[in-house]
Structure 1
């Protein structure tokens, strides 16, 4: 349908906002591509000093969060070409970014090997809320739509998947099985199942969140996490 060739180096991050596709690149730029417009891109965001490796639009499509190899977390609004909020507390690159579907302006970010922390931010009040050292590189974050919980995937050195209850950040489950860092994470439309992809060339499906009607995750702790796994090996 379209081929967009505006970036000068590899594109490692993408995020949709209705008909707008935002892309982050090793050329340090974020580009907004409007599929309705003939131009390759309609806006360029500059601010990162290194590769943009994480992008995520908020649920109301009003704010875009970006993470970079410069250890910076930026927040942009719909019309800004410079970041409106800048967070510099992480000490490693940020690929993992997740907006809460439960509280407006609540943002989670995860740092790389030299950082290992999941941090929480209130972008409405521009405040750093809390931090949790996970002990491993944080590769991905996703929030449950059904309950106030989130899941993180990790790399060096434990390659694990952790389900957390927010805001206490108590661990509900630690899921193991991948033998390389868990670089990819997606959640099913019903919000109950996640799929993870790792350098071990497997996809693993995990039933980690309750249904929207349940509103309770008590059953998760009573069921062995390994019983959720179905692996498809190339």
Structure 2
């Protein structure tokens, strides 16, 4: 019977012999155990694997801190700014140096560069790609905080305007996309170039006629002029030459609005004429609906809807092919001359009422709803949206004659 304490033997061929195992060399042991260290005892709550740069070997980046005891080395060929750049890069990569970090920032021996750590929250307005805004601020200058906008309360330029008619229902001023201002003065139209301050007399209608409206085409130098005799003249302002004259209205033309090559004109005869300046006919269609003078016209930015306001206190919306209004708004209690489409939100329309109304109203023409109303305290003469920010400018007549800049939709006053 075999002894149970005896170690078992292997039956090996005669050519093979069992060699005793030798312990691994010191070099292999160092390779195996180099990266095995006890995990930190502090509780870790993040599941992200983020490198701890405080354990990094800074010499690999050539940005290690010089020892206070080591003598300074001066190299005349090195850039003077290299030291500043090195300090900034070090702060961005490894965070700010604090008294608590002085012992940690030294090059560690035998520690793992990667370990789990809590995620550091970054500011939404961080300027540093590494997220150390507060700490790098001492070395990197942040962009200055944007100062509140100051809107001047006095004009930077005043133009003489003799013979400018004092009539609420007329539209005698219009600014072109080429920065040229057109003004109707009596029976003449003058152009003022805002870049050169040059003044040009465009036309003279004669002693028995007068200018009732002016309107620039959207993209070219054509200017439409409405007259008191019910005619519409088209002028090429770059050549100071009249292109054509179109008839159709029986009374004065006080409102004009362009939509590409289509020109809409509103008259005291209560009608709106659609004119294609490429066609031989004076007008291609006639829109009827207002019970009094049409004093406000404005095409939407997508050229699909035309808004019209009249002295019958009505605001109408027309589409490209309708001869009757598709939307009717009757909430105003005075003439509706001021009309403006928002360039920021499709279907948002603003309208202003006259002296008995004094209100700016907002409409959603997509859902056919009245959104809000703001009492301005004065007759609303004109409305213009800013194309850059969601703000609205209103100009007023009786009784305060003010100009107001509004923030939409809060309708708080900027000016």
Q: Give the TM-score of the pair, scaled to structure 1.
A: 0.74
* Structural RMSD (CA): 0.3
Corresponding residue pairs, total: 173
1:156 paired residue number: 398
Which protein has the bigger helix share? Answer: 2
Q: Partner of 2:244: helix, strand, or coil? A: coil
2:315 paired residue number: 73
2:324 aligned residue (64, 69, 82): 82
- Is 1:2 aligned to 2:244, yes or no? yes
Q: Partner of 2:307: helix, strand, or coil? A: strand
Which protein has the bigger strand share? Answer: 1
- Is 1:49 aligned to 2:291, yes or no? yes
1:144 paired residue number: 386
CA distance in 2, matches of 1:106, 1:159: 26
1:29 aligned residue (271, 277, 289): 271
Where do residues 60-209 of structure 1 align in structure 2 (5 Å cutoff)? Answer: 60-173=302-415
Unmatched runs of 5 consecutive residues or more in structure 2: 1-242
Shift of 1:5: 1.5
Shift of 1:137: 0.1
Q: Deviations over 1:117-150 (max 9, x none)?
A: 0000000000000000000000000000000000
CA distance in 2, matches of 1:119, 1:95: 12
CA distance in 1, matches of 2:295, 2:340: 13
CA distance in 1, matches of 2:315, 2:268: 16
Unmatched runs of 5 consecutive residues or more in structure 1: 174-234
Q: Partner of 2:354: helix, strand, or coil? A: coil
CA distance in 1, matches of 2:293, 2:323: 17
1:38 aligned residue (254, 257, 280): 280
CA distance in 1, matches of 2:337, 2:361: 13
